[in-house]
Structure 1
Amino acid sequence: MSAELTKVDSAVAGLSISPKDEKAPDKKTHKRTSSKTDGVWNIKDLEEQKIELELPIETQRLGWKLNTSPTSVEDKDYLKLFLVTPPVKKIDLHFPLGLEVTARNLKGVTIKDALDAIYKQFKKKADDEMDKPYLAGFEWDKEECWTRLIVHQKKEAAPAQQPSKKSKKKKEDA
Protein backbone atom coordinates (compact mmCIF):
# COMPACT_ATOMS: atom_id res chain seq x y z
CA MET A 1 0.00 0.00 0.00
CA SER A 2 2.31 2.65 -1.21
CA ALA A 3 -0.58 4.76 -2.61
CA GLU A 4 -1.06 8.16 -1.04
CA LEU A 5 -3.95 8.30 1.40
CA THR A 6 -6.66 10.88 0.78
CA LYS A 7 -9.34 12.09 3.10
CA VAL A 8 -12.79 11.17 1.81
CA ASP A 9 -15.83 12.58 3.54
CA SER A 10 -19.24 13.50 2.23
CA ALA A 11 -18.95 16.91 3.86
CA VAL A 12 -15.73 17.83 2.05
CA ALA A 13 -16.02 15.83 -1.15
CA GLY A 14 -15.26 18.04 -4.11
CA LEU A 15 -13.82 20.86 -2.01
CA SER A 16 -10.22 21.88 -2.23
CA ILE A 17 -8.22 21.52 0.95
CA SER A 18 -6.38 24.81 0.60
CA PRO A 19 -8.36 27.87 1.78
CA LYS A 20 -9.46 30.35 -0.87
CA ASP A 21 -8.35 33.95 -0.65
CA GLU A 22 -11.47 35.26 -2.37
CA LYS A 23 -14.69 35.47 -0.45
CA ALA A 24 -17.89 34.71 -2.27
CA PRO A 25 -20.36 37.59 -2.04
CA ASP A 26 -23.00 36.93 0.58
CA LYS A 27 -26.45 36.69 -0.92
CA LYS A 28 -29.12 38.20 1.27
CA THR A 29 -32.30 36.26 0.98
CA HIS A 30 -35.61 36.79 2.69
CA LYS A 31 -37.00 34.01 4.79
CA ARG A 32 -40.55 35.07 3.99
CA THR A 33 -40.97 33.94 0.41
CA SER A 34 -44.55 32.94 1.21
CA SER A 35 -45.48 36.62 1.59
CA LYS A 36 -45.05 37.08 -2.15
CA THR A 37 -48.23 35.81 -3.70
CA ASP A 38 -48.56 35.90 -7.47
CA GLY A 39 -51.12 38.38 -8.74
CA VAL A 40 -51.31 40.40 -5.51
CA TRP A 41 -50.19 44.00 -5.98
CA ASN A 42 -48.89 46.80 -3.88
CA ILE A 43 -51.39 49.67 -4.16
CA LYS A 44 -48.58 52.15 -4.93
CA ASP A 45 -47.48 50.04 -7.93
CA LEU A 46 -51.03 50.13 -9.31
CA GLU A 47 -51.03 53.91 -8.98
CA GLU A 48 -47.70 54.23 -10.82
CA GLN A 49 -48.89 52.02 -13.67
CA LYS A 50 -52.35 53.68 -13.72
CA ILE A 51 -54.12 50.31 -13.34
CA GLU A 52 -57.71 51.01 -12.28
CA LEU A 53 -59.43 49.23 -9.40
CA GLU A 54 -62.79 47.49 -9.62
CA LEU A 55 -65.06 46.90 -6.63
CA PRO A 56 -67.46 43.97 -6.29
CA ILE A 57 -71.15 44.97 -6.15
CA GLU A 58 -71.65 42.45 -3.32
CA THR A 59 -70.31 44.94 -0.76
CA GLN A 60 -73.53 46.94 -1.16
CA ARG A 61 -75.70 43.89 -0.45
CA LEU A 62 -74.19 42.93 2.90
CA GLY A 63 -76.54 44.84 5.20
CA TRP A 64 -73.81 44.67 7.84
CA LYS A 65 -73.89 46.69 11.05
CA LEU A 66 -70.53 48.31 11.80
CA ASN A 67 -70.48 47.38 15.51
CA THR A 68 -71.26 43.68 14.96
CA SER A 69 -68.82 40.94 14.08
CA PRO A 70 -68.26 40.32 10.33
CA THR A 71 -69.23 36.70 10.94
CA SER A 72 -72.80 37.93 11.45
CA VAL A 73 -73.12 38.57 7.68
CA GLU A 74 -75.74 36.19 6.32
CA ASP A 75 -74.05 35.23 3.06
CA LYS A 76 -70.59 34.06 4.13
CA ASP A 77 -69.46 33.53 0.50
CA TYR A 78 -69.25 37.30 0.02
CA LEU A 79 -66.60 37.53 2.75
CA LYS A 80 -64.14 35.45 0.70
CA LEU A 81 -64.24 37.77 -2.32
CA PHE A 82 -61.39 40.20 -2.93
CA LEU A 83 -62.27 43.77 -1.94
CA VAL A 84 -60.75 45.15 -5.14
CA THR A 85 -59.63 43.73 -8.46
CA PRO A 86 -56.69 43.37 -9.01
CA PRO A 87 -56.09 42.18 -5.42
CA VAL A 88 -53.85 44.33 -3.21
CA LYS A 89 -51.84 43.67 -0.03
CA LYS A 90 -53.27 46.63 1.87
CA ILE A 91 -55.71 49.45 1.32
CA ASP A 92 -56.89 52.40 3.38
CA LEU A 93 -60.59 52.78 4.12
CA HIS A 94 -61.61 56.42 4.60
CA PHE A 95 -64.79 57.46 6.42
CA PRO A 96 -66.41 60.80 5.51
CA LEU A 97 -65.90 62.21 9.04
CA GLY A 98 -62.15 61.68 8.84
CA LEU A 99 -61.58 58.25 10.40
CA GLU A 100 -59.23 56.08 8.38
CA VAL A 101 -58.55 52.36 8.88
CA THR A 102 -56.27 50.03 6.94
CA ALA A 103 -57.21 46.55 5.77
CA ARG A 104 -54.24 44.22 5.23
CA ASN A 105 -53.73 40.71 3.85
CA LEU A 106 -50.55 39.63 2.06
CA LYS A 107 -52.56 37.17 -0.03
CA GLY A 108 -55.00 39.88 -1.16
CA VAL A 109 -57.42 41.98 0.92
CA THR A 110 -60.84 40.31 1.07
CA ILE A 111 -64.17 41.82 2.05
CA LYS A 112 -63.81 40.08 5.43
CA ASP A 113 -60.43 41.79 6.00
CA ALA A 114 -62.03 45.17 5.37
CA LEU A 115 -64.97 44.40 7.67
CA ASP A 116 -62.59 43.19 10.38
CA ALA A 117 -60.63 46.46 10.21
CA ILE A 118 -63.84 48.50 10.41
CA TYR A 119 -65.28 46.35 13.21
CA LYS A 120 -62.11 46.85 15.29
CA GLN A 121 -62.86 50.60 15.32
CA PHE A 122 -66.60 50.36 16.01
CA LYS A 123 -67.00 47.30 18.26
CA LYS A 124 -67.18 49.32 21.47
CA LYS A 125 -69.68 51.86 20.15
CA ALA A 126 -73.30 51.53 21.21
CA ASP A 127 -76.05 51.55 18.59
CA ASP A 128 -77.33 54.97 19.66
CA GLU A 129 -73.85 56.51 19.32
CA MET A 130 -73.83 56.05 15.54
CA ASP A 131 -75.90 58.11 13.12
CA LYS A 132 -75.46 55.67 10.26
CA PRO A 133 -74.66 52.21 11.68
CA TYR A 134 -74.92 50.14 8.46
CA LEU A 135 -72.40 49.67 5.66
CA ALA A 136 -73.75 50.97 2.33
CA GLY A 137 -70.65 50.05 0.31
CA PHE A 138 -67.27 51.31 -0.83
CA GLU A 139 -66.32 53.86 -3.48
CA TRP A 140 -63.03 54.33 -5.27
CA ASP A 141 -62.39 57.89 -6.44
CA LYS A 142 -59.14 58.04 -8.39
CA GLU A 143 -59.27 61.85 -8.63
CA GLU A 144 -59.34 62.24 -4.85
CA CYS A 145 -56.90 59.50 -3.84
CA TRP A 146 -55.81 56.47 -5.83
CA THR A 147 -54.73 54.42 -2.81
CA ARG A 148 -57.87 54.45 -0.65
CA LEU A 149 -61.55 53.62 -0.70
CA ILE A 150 -64.34 55.79 0.66
CA VAL A 151 -66.67 53.97 3.05
CA HIS A 152 -70.36 54.82 2.71
CA GLN A 153 -72.82 54.30 5.53
CA LYS A 154 -76.62 54.33 5.83
CA LYS A 155 -79.27 54.53 8.55
CA GLU A 156 -81.26 51.42 7.62
CA ALA A 157 -80.20 47.86 6.88
CA ALA A 158 -80.42 46.63 3.32
CA PRO A 159 -83.84 45.22 2.40
CA ALA A 160 -84.18 41.48 2.85
CA GLN A 161 -82.74 39.55 -0.06
CA GLN A 162 -84.56 36.95 -2.09
CA PRO A 163 -85.79 34.12 0.09
CA SER A 164 -83.45 31.17 0.29
CA LYS A 165 -84.17 27.82 -1.38
CA LYS A 166 -85.25 26.28 1.93
CA SER A 167 -87.95 28.87 2.57
CA LYS A 168 -89.21 28.52 -1.05
CA LYS A 169 -89.66 24.78 -0.50
CA LYS A 170 -91.60 25.37 2.72
CA LYS A 171 -93.96 27.77 0.92
CA GLU A 172 -94.51 25.27 -1.89
CA ASP A 173 -95.29 22.49 0.58
CA ALA A 174 -97.85 24.62 2.47
Structure 2
Amino acid sequence: MSVPLTKVDSAIAGLSIDEKPIEKDTKHDKKGHKRNSSTAEGVWTMKDLEEQRIEITLPIETQKTGWKLNTSPNTIEDKDILKMLLINPPVKKIDLHFPLGLEVTARNSKGVTIKDALDAIHKQFKKKADDELDNPYLAGFEWDKEECWTRLVVHQTKHGAPAAPSKKSKKKSKDEA
Protein backbone atom coordinates (compact mmCIF):
# COMPACT_ATOMS: atom_id res chain seq x y z
CA MET A 1 0.00 0.00 0.00
CA SER A 2 2.37 2.69 -1.16
CA VAL A 3 -0.22 4.58 -3.24
CA PRO A 4 -0.38 8.24 -2.13
CA LEU A 5 -3.69 9.17 -0.55
CA THR A 6 -5.64 12.11 -1.91
CA LYS A 7 -8.36 12.36 0.71
CA VAL A 8 -7.72 13.53 4.22
CA ASP A 9 -8.50 10.88 6.77
CA SER A 10 -8.03 11.49 10.47
CA ALA A 11 -6.90 7.89 10.89
CA ILE A 12 -3.95 8.29 8.48
CA ALA A 13 -0.92 10.32 9.48
CA GLY A 14 1.96 11.51 7.36
CA LEU A 15 0.33 13.42 4.51
CA SER A 16 2.43 16.28 3.28
CA ILE A 17 1.07 19.83 3.39
CA ASP A 18 1.78 20.59 -0.29
CA GLU A 19 -0.90 18.22 -1.52
CA LYS A 20 -3.98 20.02 -2.81
CA PRO A 21 -7.19 19.30 -0.95
CA ILE A 22 -10.06 18.07 -3.07
CA GLU A 23 -12.31 20.99 -3.95
CA LYS A 24 -16.01 20.68 -3.36
CA ASP A 25 -18.48 21.50 -6.06
CA THR A 26 -19.77 24.72 -4.48
CA LYS A 27 -22.28 25.27 -7.27
CA HIS A 28 -24.55 22.58 -5.83
CA ASP A 29 -23.80 23.28 -2.17
CA LYS A 30 -25.21 26.82 -2.14
CA LYS A 31 -28.41 27.34 -0.22
CA GLY A 32 -31.12 29.51 -1.71
CA HIS A 33 -30.91 33.10 -0.55
CA LYS A 34 -33.77 35.54 -0.64
CA ARG A 35 -33.08 38.86 -2.26
CA ASN A 36 -32.94 41.70 0.20
CA SER A 37 -34.71 44.00 -2.23
CA SER A 38 -37.88 41.91 -2.09
CA THR A 39 -38.34 42.44 1.64
CA ALA A 40 -39.43 45.85 2.87
CA GLU A 41 -37.95 47.41 5.99
CA GLY A 42 -40.17 47.60 9.04
CA VAL A 43 -42.37 44.70 7.91
CA TRP A 44 -42.68 41.99 10.55
CA THR A 45 -43.71 38.38 10.69
CA MET A 46 -46.51 37.44 13.07
CA LYS A 47 -44.17 35.04 14.91
CA ASP A 48 -41.68 37.85 15.57
CA LEU A 49 -44.47 40.04 16.93
CA GLU A 50 -45.59 37.20 19.19
CA GLU A 51 -42.06 36.48 20.43
CA GLN A 52 -41.46 40.14 21.27
CA ARG A 53 -45.02 40.57 22.60
CA ILE A 54 -45.70 43.55 20.33
CA GLU A 55 -49.42 44.30 20.30
CA ILE A 56 -51.15 45.03 17.01
CA THR A 57 -53.90 47.47 16.15
CA LEU A 58 -56.63 47.20 13.51
CA PRO A 59 -58.06 50.15 11.59
CA ILE A 60 -61.74 50.84 12.33
CA GLU A 61 -62.34 51.26 8.58
CA THR A 62 -62.48 47.48 8.10
CA GLN A 63 -65.87 47.48 9.82
CA LYS A 64 -67.27 50.16 7.51
CA THR A 65 -66.79 48.45 4.16
CA GLY A 66 -70.23 46.84 3.77
CA TRP A 67 -68.47 44.38 1.46
CA LYS A 68 -70.14 41.20 0.23
CA LEU A 69 -67.77 38.21 0.46
CA ASN A 70 -68.59 36.76 -2.97
CA THR A 71 -68.07 40.04 -4.86
CA SER A 72 -64.80 41.61 -5.91
CA PRO A 73 -63.14 43.93 -3.37
CA ASN A 74 -63.05 46.53 -6.15
CA THR A 75 -66.81 47.02 -5.67
CA ILE A 76 -66.18 48.86 -2.38
CA GLU A 77 -67.14 52.51 -2.82
CA ASP A 78 -64.32 54.04 -0.75
CA LYS A 79 -61.19 52.89 -2.63
CA ASP A 80 -58.86 54.58 -0.10
CA ILE A 81 -59.77 51.92 2.48
CA LEU A 82 -58.23 49.22 0.27
CA LYS A 83 -54.78 50.85 0.38
CA MET A 84 -54.64 50.95 4.18
CA LEU A 85 -52.56 48.42 6.13
CA LEU A 86 -54.67 45.68 7.69
CA ILE A 87 -52.74 45.82 10.96
CA ASN A 88 -50.14 48.04 12.51
CA PRO A 89 -47.21 47.24 12.64
CA PRO A 90 -47.26 45.85 9.08
CA VAL A 91 -46.73 42.11 8.53
CA LYS A 92 -45.79 40.00 5.51
CA LYS A 93 -48.60 37.49 5.98
CA ILE A 94 -51.46 36.88 8.34
CA ASP A 95 -53.99 34.10 8.78
CA LEU A 96 -57.66 35.04 8.70
CA HIS A 97 -59.81 32.61 10.70
CA PHE A 98 -63.55 32.21 10.17
CA PRO A 99 -65.68 31.02 13.12
CA LEU A 100 -66.76 27.85 11.27
CA GLY A 101 -63.16 26.73 10.81
CA LEU A 102 -62.13 28.09 7.39
CA GLU A 103 -58.73 29.77 7.40
CA VAL A 104 -57.23 31.86 4.61
CA THR A 105 -53.87 33.63 4.44
CA ALA A 106 -53.31 37.16 3.17
CA ARG A 107 -49.78 37.94 1.94
CA ASN A 108 -47.85 41.01 0.84
CA SER A 109 -44.08 41.40 1.25
CA LYS A 110 -44.48 45.15 1.79
CA GLY A 111 -47.19 44.79 4.42
CA VAL A 112 -50.63 43.19 4.17
CA THR A 113 -53.27 45.75 3.15
CA ILE A 114 -57.02 45.57 3.58
CA LYS A 115 -57.26 44.79 -0.14
CA ASP A 116 -54.88 41.82 0.27
CA ALA A 117 -57.10 40.43 3.03
CA LEU A 118 -60.29 40.97 1.03
CA ASP A 119 -58.70 39.37 -2.05
CA ALA A 120 -57.77 36.29 -0.02
CA ILE A 121 -61.32 36.04 1.36
CA HIS A 122 -62.88 36.66 -2.06
CA LYS A 123 -60.84 33.83 -3.56
CA GLN A 124 -62.60 31.41 -1.18
CA PHE A 125 -66.12 32.78 -1.70
CA LYS A 126 -66.23 33.97 -5.32
CA LYS A 127 -67.92 30.79 -6.60
CA LYS A 128 -70.56 30.73 -3.87
CA ALA A 129 -74.08 31.85 -4.71
CA ASP A 130 -75.80 34.45 -2.54
CA ASP A 131 -78.20 31.90 -1.06
CA GLU A 132 -75.29 29.64 -0.01
CA LEU A 133 -73.92 32.24 2.39
CA ASP A 134 -75.62 32.61 5.78
CA ASN A 135 -73.77 35.81 6.60
CA PRO A 136 -72.59 37.22 3.27
CA TYR A 137 -71.18 40.57 4.46
CA LEU A 138 -67.92 41.42 6.19
CA ALA A 139 -68.49 42.88 9.64
CA GLY A 140 -64.80 43.35 10.43
CA PHE A 141 -61.73 41.68 11.90
CA GLU A 142 -60.84 40.95 15.51
CA TRP A 143 -57.48 40.18 17.07
CA ASP A 144 -57.83 37.91 20.10
CA LYS A 145 -54.36 37.58 21.57
CA GLU A 146 -55.56 35.17 24.27
CA GLU A 147 -56.90 32.70 21.70
CA CYS A 148 -54.18 32.99 19.06
CA TRP A 149 -51.62 35.77 18.73
CA THR A 150 -50.83 35.13 15.07
CA ARG A 151 -54.24 35.33 13.39
CA LEU A 152 -57.30 37.52 13.02
CA VAL A 153 -60.88 36.37 13.44
CA VAL A 154 -63.19 37.37 10.57
CA HIS A 155 -66.68 38.48 11.58
CA GLN A 156 -69.62 38.31 9.19
CA THR A 157 -73.13 39.73 9.22
CA LYS A 158 -76.40 39.30 7.32
CA HIS A 159 -76.72 42.96 6.38
CA GLY A 160 -74.12 44.84 4.36
CA ALA A 161 -74.81 48.49 5.13
CA PRO A 162 -73.24 49.72 8.37
CA ALA A 163 -75.63 51.16 10.95
CA ALA A 164 -74.53 54.82 10.81
CA PRO A 165 -75.00 55.47 7.06
CA SER A 166 -78.37 53.69 7.00
CA LYS A 167 -79.69 56.06 9.72
CA LYS A 168 -78.63 59.08 7.66
CA SER A 169 -80.46 57.79 4.61
CA LYS A 170 -83.63 57.26 6.68
CA LYS A 171 -83.45 60.87 7.91
CA LYS A 172 -83.15 62.11 4.34
CA SER A 173 -86.20 60.13 3.25
CA LYS A 174 -88.22 61.51 6.23
CA ASP A 175 -87.20 65.08 5.35
CA GLU A 176 -88.31 64.61 1.74
CA ALA A 177 -91.77 63.28 2.72
Please, what TM-score do these two structures have when normalized by structure 1? Answer: 0.75
Task: Give the secondary structure class of the aligned counterpart of 2:120.
Answer: helix
Partner of 2:131: 128
Cα separation, 1, equivalents of 2:137 and 2:144: 21
Corresponding residue for residue 103 of structure 1: 106
**How big is the shift at 1:33?**
1.6
Matched, 1:117 2:101: no
Q: Unaligned 5+ residue runs, structure 2?
A: 1-19, 167-177
The aligned counterpart of 1:168 is: none
CA positional deviation for 1:35: 2.0
1:73-84 equivalences in 2 (<5 Å) = 73-84=76-87
Q: Which amino acid aligns with 2:156?
A: Q
Gaps in structure 1 of 5+ consecutive residues:
1-20, 163-174
Q: TM-score, normalised by structure 2?
A: 0.74
Task: Determine which of 119, 131, 137 is the counterpart of 2:140.
Answer: 137
Query: SS at 2:96's partner residue?
Result: strand
Letter in 2 for 1:80: K
Q: Which runs of 4+ in 1 moved over 4 A?
A: 26-29
Mapped pair 1:69 → 2:72: yes
Aligned-pair identity (%)? 76
- Alpha-carbon shift at residue 29 of structure 1 (Å): 8.0
Aligned amino acid, residue 48 of structure 1? E
Matches within 5 A, 1:1-174: 30=33, 32-159=35-162, 161=165
CA distance in structure 2 between the aligned counterparts of 1:57 and 1:49, rounded to whole angstroms:
25
Aligned to 2:5: none
